[in-house]
Structure 1
């Protein structure tokens, strides 16, 4: 994806992520190609029809041609309401991963989503402004940036978004606390690891555990080294990876690089 598209911030049409709206998008994509005519038959308003396919793409559910990904197919069939915590964690991962189609989202999560941290709308607006100044040539209005901060926060507070993950809590007007969430399942980490490995380490037999910590993989899930290592040891017991911890740098070997294998585990297929 071109860098200018990754730096776009207005894809949301001023709406936070809505799982029920995306459900309607996936229902169409299961059987037919998305089109304006088919989207018009949903209960979604005009701007929702524009925004929610873009969210579904950024959430890893649709590819660039608006066709279901492997993750999207499993969700559409086995968890259409996207109520399963693992589904919501993977949606969050795809939105916030370092190679996210929407770069500012990853930047905000990595910088601000540290358990115990507090921040305000103004902090996020400043973060986005500085990020765009450093990476983009185009100038966004103050109104557009403020709208984007509201959308970002709303995605993590609203029950129809990712509020059930309990990553954020509103402390006072426009002030938010980053919580210590329930640890994602080992299979969520496994699925994310397969995707991350394919992008950053394709063709590699081993990587350093430190790479997953220093290069922001662990931070997406609000995990420190100890909790991440515990989940990786669980994946080792399942035969998905091997983990060598004789001496640093600790080495990870990916034994099962098939995302569908992990999705079957998540949805008990």
Structure 2
């Protein structure tokens, strides 16, 4: 069985978080290798992992996904998930989402009172994300982006509680990790050019967070005419709302960091098993 973990030219062997997955696959006897997206790849399964430069070449990336057989997650999932306006769609189907407004280039947005966040709808690694209270500064940032963007009230509990990332493999909960606040200074600043370095650590989620994450995946699967188990991997990022209730911040189905560095080796073993099952179909 041959499995390829897809990355980008700048990170030919990933960013280190997937080392445990690579070792787990190799230990299970899988012929596993890294390869940059864009090339024609012959494998039983191509698993999208660290393809983090795709936002600058989205059409090219999607065309590559279209012509790559046995892709995980599937290309229709990638097309839907690489545009964060899916948050508006999930909210319309009853998911508790951080209030989200979609703003097109040239629109005159109505900004929320207090602090709020502006982020491009297509982006990875928190690039282009900013926290504002001044409407003129926010509008200037929107204009500088020049692309569709989301506007969300800033959830102040993030400053003390951060975010909880819940990871699922083949539709089943695996583990969680904690993400510290990244917007204390206003704009998220990239240290690498590809992504913002995050402060991560292990955490146990609440029952309410796990229940929300499962609902998110069930609704997303229904919208895509799939089942939850059809998502080889998923990361559901939740924050605490003003009333303490969990709210969906983002659903990562394309190339998320899965937090293997912040959990036990059994997590990588679980994904290895899921990958082998998917590659055998």
TM-score (norm 1): 0.28
TM-score (norm 2): 0.27
Structure (1/2) with the larger helix percentage: 1
Structure (1/2) with the larger strand percentage: 2
